[in-house]
Structures are given as structure tokens and as C-alpha cells.
Amino acid sequence: MYSLKALLQDGAPPLLHNVNDRDDWKIKKANLLKVWMECIGGIPSLVKTSFKINSWEIHTDYYLIKICYSTVYEDTVPANLLVPKFLDEADLVTENDVLHLLYSPSCKRFPSVIALHPTSDNGKEDISTVMGRENRRYGLELVKRGYVVLAPDTITAGERILPNEKAFQTTSFYKSYPKWSAVAKMLVDHQQGISLLEELSIVDGSRIGAIGHSLGGYNSFFLAGIDKRVKAVVCSCGLSLFTQDPEKHRWGSREWFSHIPKISDYIDEGVVPFEFTEIAALVAPTPFFLWMGQNDHIFPHWKPAATGLFELNSLYEWMGEGERFRSLIGNSGHDFPVEIRQLAYSFLDKWL
């Protein structure tokens, strides 16, 4: 537990404070995970994987398959599944052809990523179709690089915007789940997506990664921190600390997208239960790529976040896994520039 006043004045203690050996870190990590789960309301048990094919498209070098997959509490997740092209167009005519493609025992097994979208009303379309914005089409670029890509809609975005509601409004969610959190809901939906990828014959289940920008960026490392099936993670402009944050309730209760309501209860008492560098540390020693911009207008408090990057690097170095951590800071805004994406893709290539 940290005093907000102390965070503003002194910053958070180093990650390795009072950690002398691996056993100490194991205990600290377990305590961090416990507090994290208590704050977000816990993660329910996963349900059996199933999905429905809605439609498919054949492009020059990939297939785009629109699906809905199962998640907890009888919900479904609309998603785009992108597959590198390895069949003739004539071989993909019926739904059975698509299923044969996905479960073909004779084809090569591809590395895969779950690609998580930023705060965009269009959700998955922003990152996995030609309609996506400039510097956001990382799902589309990765399928062309040889990855099977699963791009789901988060709650309140894309096809999951409720009738008569605007995007990223969580009021209805909290009416149904007052003791839970949007963060936990997103995480369990993403975990179900990983389970789906594992079941596809065309996917090498030992080579699944996560990538995202902004909302998708922090969801990527949140996911990798609790699910070690994620073997490499890329976060663009997603590490935002409590320290020096000009938006006091960014992570708590707000008029629009409320991530973790319980955080506001802590803040009102002048404390926070953790710093987000510690939540990012749950990823270690999984390969981890982090990028941030000094002109980021969404997360303008980049200086304490830069200190967080140093702490994460120190943790990986202390573990003897320094090559598994890569952090970059540039004078970009809240963006995922092409040169940074290329470095991120090379990082994924190396570890997946």
C-alpha cells in the first residue's frame, strides 16, 4: 500500500526493495498478484472453447475470418481471425472448407498473436483491416508477416457496443457485475481467445504472443502477467503510473470507461494498493517490449513511467534475463510509429 502523497513526492520504492533472493521475489510476486486479483475482482474459471464462423474473406496473402467465440457467463466475443494464405482461393468455398483450413493437420503451424485494439469505437477493425487508422493496423501487418492473428472486440467497443449506448460506456456492465471490473472482464475474454488459438491445428501453441497499443497495450501486459501461455508481449503507449498522473481517477470510477472501480475507494482514502510498474513486473521473465512517447497527450506523465522502465530492466537483469526486456522512449505522441512497430515485430520474431 502506497501513500498517494508519497508517490507524488518520492515515487514508488524500487521493484527489488527488500528482495534479496529468488525466494523473496517469489513471495513478493505472489503478494502482488493477490492484491491485483482483489482489486479487479478476480478471474473466473475459463469455459470450454467454442466459436461460430460468421463470414470470411480471401485477400491476396491472408484470409480474414469473422468469428464469435465463447467466454464466461454465457457471453461471446466477436473477433477477426487472420490466417496467412496457404491454400488456393478455390479451396475456401464453404464453412467446412474454413474449418478444414483451421484444423488442417498437414499444414505448417504458425506462430500466433492476440492483437488488442486501442480506444477506438471500431474496435478490432482498427487494427486488423484496411479500414484501420494509420499506425494502428498491427494485426494486419503481422498476418502478412506470417502470424495467425486473433483480434477481438473488447466490451463496449466494435460489435460489443450495446444498442442505444455509446462506445466505452461501462454503466450497463457494472449494473450486471457491481463487484467485478472491466479489466477482469477484458482479461478473461482474452484468455478465452488464447484457448481458442491453442486449439487450432494451424497454430503452434508454444508460440503465442500479445500485442497492443494504449488500451490494448496495457491489456497485453496485464494478460501476460496472469497467463504464462503468452510467450512474448508488446506494449505501445500503455504503461501509465499513478505517480504524477494528472487524471486522478484514470484507473477508477469515471463517467465513461471505468477500469477498476475499487481503485477510487483507495484513492479517496489517499492511498493506492500498488504502482503499475509492479503489475508490469508480473510479466517477468516473459519477453517484454515496451514503448512510450515523450509527447503523449493521453499519458503525459512519462518521466515517472521512464523510471518504471528502468526498474523493470533492473528486475530482468537481476533475474539474468536482460535480453528478454526491451524498452524504448522517443519524442513521439500517443502513437505506434512504423519504425517502432518494425522493432516490435522483430522482437516477436525472435521470441516466437
Give Dmax (Cα) for the chain. 65
pLDDT score recorded for residue 231: 98
Please tell me the distance from the alpha carbon of residue 296 to that of residue 332, in angstroms, as a whole number.
7
Please tell me the distance from the alpha carbon of residue 13 to that of residue 89, in angstroms, as a whole number.
57
Among 76, 84, 82, which Cα is nearest to 49's? Answer: 76
pLDDT score recorded for residue 92: 79
**pTM above threshold 0.75:** yes
Task: Residue 106: give its domain's CATH number.
Answer: 3.40.50.1820
Q: How many independent structural domains does the chain possess?
A: 1
> Which segments in the chain show pLDDT lower than 70?
87-90, 106
pLDDT score recorded for residue 241: 95
Long-range pairs of 89-98 with CB within 8 A, sequence gap ≥ 24? 89/58, 92/56, 92/58, 92/63, 95/53, 98/53, 98/56, 98/63, 98/65
Q: Which three cell numbers stand for residue 222?
A: 496485464
Render pLDDT for 37-46 as a digit per residue (tens, 0 to 9).
Answer: 999 999 999 9
Among 304, 306, 305, 324, which Cα is nearest to 315's? Answer: 324
Render pLDDT for 238-267 as a digit per residue (tens, 0 to 9).
Answer: 999 999 999 999 999 999 999 999 999 999
Among 289, 287, 302, which Cα is nearest to 352's? Answer: 287
Q: How many CB atoms lie within 10 A of CB 289?
A: 27
pLDDT score recorded for residue 90: 61
Sheet of 148-152, strand order: 51-58, 62-71, 75-84, 148-152, 110-116, 203-213, 232-236, 288-293, 325-330
Coil, helix or strand at residue 222: helix
The torsion of the CA quartet 42, 45, 48, 52, rounded to 10 degrees, works out to -10
pLDDT score recorded for residue 91: 72
Which DSSP state fits 104?
Answer: -
Which DSSP state fits 250?
Answer: T
Domain range enclosing 327:
2-351
pLDDT score recorded for residue 142: 98
pLDDT score recorded for residue 106: 65
Render pLDDT for 62-104 as a digit per residue (tens, 0 to 9).
Answer: 999 999 999 999 999 999 999 998 866 567 789 999 998 899 8
